[in-house]
């Protein structure tokens, strides 16, 4: 039996070596996707969207002639499987340009590894917010927006509805959260904002998986807050919406996070979800020219990744497309500096991610104006935007309530730098001097 195991390992080793030896002529992007298990619906939509966009880029001539190539590896949303996938794929096709695990647990497992391997990692709309400080986290890009900015934007939105942030005084805001790293992440921001604006902040935890919530919602009805922030994940979201209906809490006073704001989160709740509001870091729908191009060129050529065509333009799908656009634009930015039409090294892609300037005009050229907000990153700011928009479910689709908007970014930035400094001290990292990088 030992022999068998060893030969199997040898086989795996050989396989890794063989595919690593291929000459580098294409830009390689590993896709640590998950298409089975509890979160398969999200994983297949998201990575389907990214791959659809990569296909579109290749069909229209690549990035200045450089074709993209990608490989998928099933992580099952499990940290150990994800690490194995990353290690397996990172040397293929001449080396991975960048990695996106779409899982907090896997992202933590890769944190030290990407630093050592010098491969930039994006955490698009999740992960630890302090990674936005690029002087400490050189290789990590929570690009677009983070949980902390989302929390600040939510308060800004509530302030807007109340008629100005000064009206928040005396309001009651309740944070109903998934009892995990994810759900606890924004609490410091809410607490700081509560102190600043004078609203009352309450929090109630829901144990994983959150498939019964009567006790929490009875407590909420008892407390009668002005707004409930639903920081949920997976089955917890539809259950929360349904239980809110059951205790008679109005759904338009529930504000979900973006991970509680996709079709998958509201459809199971049926009619109860009508009027429910959620945050979003990208828009949904197929009206954008880039989405039209994907429908016509990619799906028209039979190369589409989604099996269920009705999911084209769903929020997870457009999130994936947005991720694809950001990565492609970062590579384009890098090419502009290091040589057009060349394959970029991970280090150069990192530079591209750090010097990304996706203006409104550029987004329009790509056909993605309004799909996600403009992003301008720098050494000190790996996030680059922090904008969030709010949308409302009308029973059929999410309708935009606000344009992309921003919360108290100054406060969030201050907290990001403090938290990053604490991390740097603990890990004995000397932060880069961003003034010199300019």
Residue of 59, 91, 286, 374 interacting with other proteins (CB under 8 A)? 91
The reply on whether position 301 binds other proteins by CB under 8 A is no
Determine the Cα–Cα distance for residues 217 and 377; give it in Å rounded to an integer. 40
Determine the Cα–Cα distance for residues 313 and 320; give it in Å rounded to an integer. 10
The number of residues that bind other proteins (CB under 8 A) is 95
Q: Give whichever of 105 and 313 is closer to other proteins, judged by the CB atom.
A: 105
Length of the chain: 438
The reply on whether position 218 binds other proteins by CB under 8 A is yes
Determine the Cα–Cα distance for residues 201 and 54; give it in Å rounded to an integer. 43
The reply on whether position 194 binds other proteins by CB under 8 A is no
Residue of 149, 185, 354, 383 interacting with other proteins (CB under 8 A)? 185
Determine the Cα–Cα distance for residues 130 and 108; give it in Å rounded to an integer. 13
Q: Give whichever of 167 and 303 is closer to other proteins, judged by the CB atom.
A: 303
The reply on whether position 232 binds other proteins by CB under 8 A is no
The reply on whether position 22 binds other proteins by CB under 8 A is no
User: Would you say 265 and 238 are in contact if contact means Cβ atoms under 8 Å apart?
Assistant: yes
The reply on whether position 425 binds other proteins by CB under 8 A is no
The reply on whether position 250 binds other proteins by CB under 8 A is no
The reply on whether position 408 binds other proteins by CB under 8 A is no
Burial class (CB in 10 A: 0-12, 13-18, 19+), 433: exposed
Strands 357-358 and 375-376, by their bridges, are: antiparallel
- The secondary structure of 289-314 as a DSSP string is HHHHHIIIIIITTT----SSGGGTT-
Q: Give whichever of 109 and 386 is closer to other proteins, judged by the CB atom.
A: 109
The reply on whether position 58 binds other proteins by CB under 8 A is no
- Report the nearest approach of other proteins to the CB of residue 222 (Å): 6
CA atoms within 13 A on the CB side of 214: 1
Residue of 172, 203, 297, 362 interacting with other proteins (CB under 8 A)? 203
Give backbone dihedrals phi and psi of 314, rounded to 5 degrees, phi first.
-70, 165
Binding segment (CB under 8 A) for other proteins, from list 55-63, 70-78, 253-261, 352-360:
70-78
CB count within 10 Å of CB 36 equals 12
The reply on whether position 181 binds other proteins by CB under 8 A is yes
Q: Give whichever of 397 and 437 is closer to other proteins, judged by the CB atom.
A: 397
Q: Give whichever of 21 and 336 is closer to other proteins, judged by the CB atom.
A: 21
Instruction: Looking at residues 24 to 43 of the shown chain, list those that interact with other proteins (rule: CB under 8 A).
Output: 33-41, 43
């Amino acid at each position: 039996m030992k022999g068998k195991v060893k030969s199997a390992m040898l086989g795996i080793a050989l396989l890794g070596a063989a595919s690593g030896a291929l000459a580098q002529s294409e830009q390689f992007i590993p896709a640590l996707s998950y298409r089975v298990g509890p979160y398969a619906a999200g994983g297949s939509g998201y990575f389907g969207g990214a791959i659809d966009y990569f296909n579109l880029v290749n069909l229209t001539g690549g990035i200045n002639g450089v074709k993209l190539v990608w490989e998928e590896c099933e992580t099952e949303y499990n940290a150990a499987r994800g690490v194995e996938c990353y290690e397996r794929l990172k040397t293929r096709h001449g080396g991975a340009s960048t990695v996106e695990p779409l899982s907090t647990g896997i992202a933590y497992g890769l944190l030290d590894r990407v630093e050592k391997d010098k491969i930039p990692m994006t955490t698009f709309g999740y992960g630890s917010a302090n990674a936005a400080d690029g002087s400490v986290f050189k290789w990590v890009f929570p690009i677009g927006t983070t949980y902390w900015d989302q929390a600040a934007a939510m308060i800004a939105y509530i302030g807007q509805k109340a008629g100005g942030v000064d009206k928040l005084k005396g309001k009651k805001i309740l944070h109903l959260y998934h009892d995990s790293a994810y759900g606890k992440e924004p609490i410091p921001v809410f607490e700081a904002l509560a102190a600043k604006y004078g609203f009352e902040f309450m929090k109630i935890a829901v144990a994983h998986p959150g498939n019964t919530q009567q006790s929490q919602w009875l407590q909420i009805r008892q407390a009668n807050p002005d707004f409930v922030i639903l920081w949920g994940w997976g089955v917890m979201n539809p259950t929360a919406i349904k239980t809110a209906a059951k205790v008679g809490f109005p759904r338009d006073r529930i504000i979900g996070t973006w991970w509680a704001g996709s079709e998958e989160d509201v459809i199971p709740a049926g009619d109860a979800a009508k009027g429910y509001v959620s945050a979003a870091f990208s828009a949904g729908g197929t009206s954008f020219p880039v989405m039209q191009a994907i429908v016509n060129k990619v799906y028209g050529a039979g190369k589409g990744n989604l099996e269920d065509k009705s999911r084209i333009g769903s929020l997870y799908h457009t999130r994936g497309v947005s991720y694809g656009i950001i990565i492609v634009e970062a590579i384009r930015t890098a090419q502009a500096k290091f040589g057009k039409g060349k394959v970029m090294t991970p280090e150069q892609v990192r530079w591209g991610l750090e010097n990304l300037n996706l203006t409104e005009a550029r987004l329009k050229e790509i056909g993605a104006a309004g799909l996600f907000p403009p992003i301008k990153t720098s050494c000190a700011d790996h996030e680059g935007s922090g904008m969030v928009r709010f949308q409302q479910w009308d029973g059929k689709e999410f309708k935009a309530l606000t344009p992309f908007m921003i919360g108290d970014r100054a406060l969030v930035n201050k907290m990001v730098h403090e938290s990053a400094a604490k991390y740097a001290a603990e890990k004995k990292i000397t932060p880069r001097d961003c003034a010199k990088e300019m």
